[in-house]
Amino acid sequence: MGTENTPLDLSLVRILLLATYELGRQPFGLASPAAWLRREGFDVTTVDTSRTSVDDDQISAASLVAVHLQMHTATRLAEPLLARVRRVNPAAHICGYGLYAPLNEAWLREQGVATVLGGEFEEALVTLAAELARGAGSPLRTAGSVLQGLDGQSGGGRVPKLRFIQPDRSGLPPLESYASVQMPDGTRRVSGATEASRGCKHLCRHCPIVPVYQGEFRVVPVDVVMADVAAQVSAGAAHVSFGDPDFLNGPAHAARVVERFAAEHAGVSYDVTIKIEHLLRHANLLPLLRRTGCLFVTSAVESVDDAVLAKLAKGHTRADFGRVVSLCRDAGLTLSPTFVSFTPWTTVEGYLDLIDTIDALDLVEHVAPIQLAIRLLVTSRSALLDLPDIRAAVDPFDACSLTWPWRHRDARVDALQRDVIRTVGEHAQSRRSDAFESIAALAVRAAGASPRLPRLGGPARMVPSVTEPWYCCAEPDPELI
C-alpha cells in the first residue's frame, strides 16, 4: 500500500476485540490477538458479550473493531453487534476474523466489515492495526481487504506459520463466570481453556476447518501452552479444556504437552477432543492421557450409520466406534461422543438405531442431550456441496441462518428433530438419563416400533461433564441458547 515506511502513530488506533460465543469458555480468540497487539504497543479492549455487555463508549472510542467469528453460532450472534457498531461509530474500521469469517465474506461485506481474516489471524491483525496507525484506513476499507482467508492472499495459498506467544487474558471475565466441569460426586471444577494446536490434517466434509486450513495444522510450542495453563491455574482453574480440533493431530507433541502438564500441575485435570480414527491409531497413548489427568475425551462420532459416515468422510466406521468405547473404558477414560444426529440421509429407523446403540454401549450419561438433536449445517463454501445429493436437497442460501437450508424427503424425520430439540429444552435441568428416556420414546413412536424401555437398569453411572448446556461440536440454533 506504499505506507510501509510511514512511522506508526499508535494514538490513531484504539482497538476493540469482541467475541459473542465460544462454547462457554473464556475466549482464546480474544486473549491471543490481544497479546500480539499489546506487544506492539496498541491500546486494546476485550469484551466477551456472552458474559458482559459492550457499552457505546467502548464502541465510540475504537478506531478498529474486530469480531471473532470462530463458530456458526458466534457469527449469527454477531449480526446485531455489527449493526450496533455501524450505528454508534460509523467511522470505525470493522474486521471479522476466525474460521467463519472467510466462509461468510460476502455476507460480512454487507454488514459493513472491511477486513476479513481466516485462520492464524494474529499477525494479520497486527498488520491491519499498523496500516491504520500509518493512516491507511481508507485504502483498506475501499479495497475490501482480505488479508488472509480462503484464497491465502497473505499466505501464498497456505495458512501462515506464526511464532505463537502467550495469550493475554487480562480484562476478560474471571474463569468462575464460565462453564465448569461437573464431577460425578456433584462438585464442580473451575475450568480454563487453551490450544496446543490449530487447524486439522483431516478433510471431513462438514467441518468448517477444512475450507480454511485445507488439511494443514499448526502446533503451539509447549512452553507457550504451559505458560497459558499456568496463568489460568493461578487464576483458579482446577481443570483445563484443550480446544484443539484434534489433540492427536501431532501425537508426539500432544504427549510432550500432557507430560509437562502433569509434572507442573499435579491435581489439575484436563479434557481433549480426538477423532475416533486417532483414538484407534494411537491407542497406546490412552493410558498416558489417563495417567496425566485427562478426565474425558470428546470425539465427533457423528453417526452410527456407515453410509452417513462415508458421506461425511469421517474416516471411521460404526465398528470403529464400538472398539474405541472399549479401549477408553479399559484405559479408565470417559468417552464423550458427539453426533450430527439429523442429516438428509437419516431415517427414523436409523435414528432409533442410534438411540439403541448409545443405550447398548452404556453411554447414556456420556452423551449431552443436545447431541441427539443436532441438525447438519450446510454452511457457505461447505465441502458438503460437492455431493450431488446435497445440492439436490438444499434450498437457496439463506442469509438469515447463514446456511443452505434443507428439508428431509421424509417429513417424519424433520418432525422428529423438532420434537427432540423441544424435549431437550424441556429437560434442561434434568439428568441426562431422563432426557434420553423421553427422546427414546419419541424415536420409538416415530419409527412405529414396539414400545420398549431403555436398558437403564439400576442407578446411572455418572461421568464428568461440562456445565455448558449447548456444548457440542456442531453449533445449535442461537435462538435456542
Euclidean distance between CA atoms 242 and 247, whole angstroms: 8
Q: Can you read off the three cell numbers belonging to residue 256?
A: 510432550
Domain boundaries, the chain: 10-143, 175-480
pLDDT higher than threshold 80 for residue 477: no
C-alpha dist (Å) from residue 345 to 303, 340, 394: 11, 11, 13
Mean predicted confidence (pLDDT) in 367-394:
95
pLDDT higher than threshold 90 for residue 420: yes
Mean predicted confidence (pLDDT) in 58-72:
97
pLDDT higher than threshold 80 for residue 152: no
C-alpha dist (Å) from residue 98 to 118, 132, 195, 424: 5, 20, 14, 30
Looking at the DSSP bridge assignments, the partners of residue 403 are 379, 398
Neighbours of 124 (CB within 10 A): 28
pLDDT tens readout for residues 283-298: 999 999 999 999 999 9
CATH class of the domain whose range is 175-480: alpha beta
pLDDT tens readout for residues 218-240: 999 999 999 999 999 999 999 99
Nearest of 423, 419, 413 to residue 369 by alpha carbon: 423
Looking at the DSSP bridge assignments, the partners of residue 271 are 241, 296
In the structure, what pLDDT confidence band is assigned to residue 136 with cuts at 50, 70 and 90? Answer: low
C-alpha dist (Å) from residue 358 to 353, 374, 393: 9, 16, 28
pLDDT higher than threshold 70 for residue 142: no
Neighbours of 381 (CB within 10 A): 15
Got the DSSP string for 386-449? GSHHHHHHBPSPBTTTTB--B--SSHHHHHHHHHHHHHHHHTTTS-HHHHHHHHHHHHHHHHTP
In the structure, what pLDDT confidence band is assigned to residue 471 with cuts at 50, 70 and 90? Answer: very low
Euclidean distance between CA atoms 416 and 407, whole angstroms: 12
Q: According to the model, what pLDDT value does residue 474 have?
A: 40
Nearest of 306, 326, 301, 328 to residue 317 by alpha carbon: 306
Q: Which residue has the cell 462420532?
A: 301
Is 162 or 159 the better-scoring residue by pLDDT?
162
Instruction: Say if CB 81 and CB 62 are below 8 A apart.
Output: no
pLDDT tens readout for residues 320-361: 999 999 999 999 999 999 999 999 999 999 999 999 999 999
Mean predicted confidence (pLDDT) in 424-453:
90
Euclidean distance between CA atoms 52 and 392, whole angstroms: 42
| Highest mean pLDDT of the ranges 144-148, 411-415, 475-479 | 411-415
Q: Is this prediction's pTM over 0.85? A: yes
C-alpha dist (Å) from residue 245 to 113, 196, 250, 473: 27, 10, 11, 9
Mean predicted confidence (pLDDT) in 249-254:
98
Instruction: Say if CB 68 and CB 97 are below 8 A apart.
Output: yes
Phi and psi torsions of 46, nearest 5°: -115, 135
pLDDT higher than threshold 80 for residue 319: yes
Q: According to the model, what pLDDT value does residue 190 have?
A: 98
pLDDT tens readout for residues 307-316: 999 999 999 9
CATH 3.40.50.280 fits domain 10-143:
yes
Q: Is 329 helix (H, G, I), strand (E, B) or coil?
A: helix
Phi and psi torsions of 43, nearest 5°: -85, 115
pLDDT higher than threshold 70 for residue 137: no
Neighbours of 218 (CB within 10 A): 18
Q: According to the model, what pLDDT value does residue 145 have?
A: 44
C-alpha dist (Å) from residue 222 to 196, 230, 254: 7, 12, 9
Q: According to the model, what pLDDT value does residue 141 have?
A: 41
- Average of per-residue pLDDT values in the chain: 90
Share of the chain above pLDDT 70, in %: 89
pLDDT higher than threshold 90 for residue 255: yes
